[in-house]
Structure 1
């Protein structure tokens, strides 16, 4: 190479060596960035990355079903046809035609089939499955047929029927059916259905005061009925928090979506829970919540 360069240029040996060094430096400067990209160490993933991805996937799945439900409800609202109706005799399909979901419709039908009665149009608002907005739309169309009295054969139409009081008795709220709960003085058909639904959601009552968590059953009503109720020592339905998935825990009325997700993600990151004390390490759970769910979980 030196001979070839000397053919066109005149270089001393030292100048030629300097030129080679310069070219070598330029070459290294050119390829160093590529060498760095090839040889640089691989960054370590955040140890919480998998948990974060799973959390996003779980949230996306939840949002998917929420959106699906709203779309289905929106589709139902589009075909609503208002008409005059008697809530005491309307079928499940009839309620659905008025815009209610199948579950909402069946809840009202169950109420009437078990003896519940609408005596005036305004009684419709006592059904918790009917929102205030829907109640306002339906009220002008409610037409309740006159109640035909069923007089005993030995009783004249002009005579007043003696009011039959409920006999005082103690009812086990963990084993009674709707008819049994209806025997409690101060509890009607609607409250009986709500108590049954809440008992199923809980997995059984652990103490009597939980009745005040039933929709519409406040402390005043509880004081009225507390001496008429008892709780048997039936086995409560429990969920193992070390194997539970989201759907296993979502029925528990004491846990929110975020709390359920936190329980599952903490277990995935730190391993199984040994006992209630481990649950206190989940920052989103306070001691009050842990005490409430304690009878319904296992490890």
Structure 2
């Protein structure tokens, strides 16, 4: 048992000496800072008499800098017109370069000072600064415009009341009707082409967007020439000829053509009553446009 213990935990004489040396070195390393501070370190002694000259020089320099800064920022007040005032003059008045440039940007975008209070509205001008500048602001009266006024510009020339035949007029002539602009003029012509012409004024209310209010506005400025109607010959027309017509559905158009092909040409408008999907109201609406 003792033999095995010695094999695992026993050390030689040489190893024992090595441990001793190692412990000594560790002790020296640990004690080195205390030894240095005790026997070798000498604290630096600073005497106030030695640094007084340097402190006086620093104070003198600080006073010089402060004096220069105060003189640099000290405003030079003079009478001025804020409109198109150079950046340098704004700086002389006490503004920073950044503040002066913000005012110039305002002018570059079309801004203008019409009266003293306009200067106060600038973000770059504080209330205190405005109080200081206000007595020196000089805006010549002969160069100002009345404040908050503008010249009214009409979007369209004023129209005089005229009478226009909507079945003959082109888009430019329709624009002479007071209340009709380019959009309505274009819609009226498109719908007129689909119909083949207007037979009564009230049909204008079938144009998209032209309600009873707009119709009342233009009613006295229009007339209808029924002679300009383009009729539909139902004895020769094919589907392509009548598909644009707004009063008939595709099914009703096909029925009119199919009846003709089956029973022969129409003798009168009353023959349309024989087509069961055409009621009297529809026939009454399309009758003025039918040609036999």
Alignment TM-score, normalising by the size of structure 1:
0.46
Alignment TM-score, normalising by the size of structure 2:
0.47
Q: Which has the larger radius of gyration?
A: 2
Which one scores higher on RCO, CA 8 angstroms, separation ≥ 6? 1
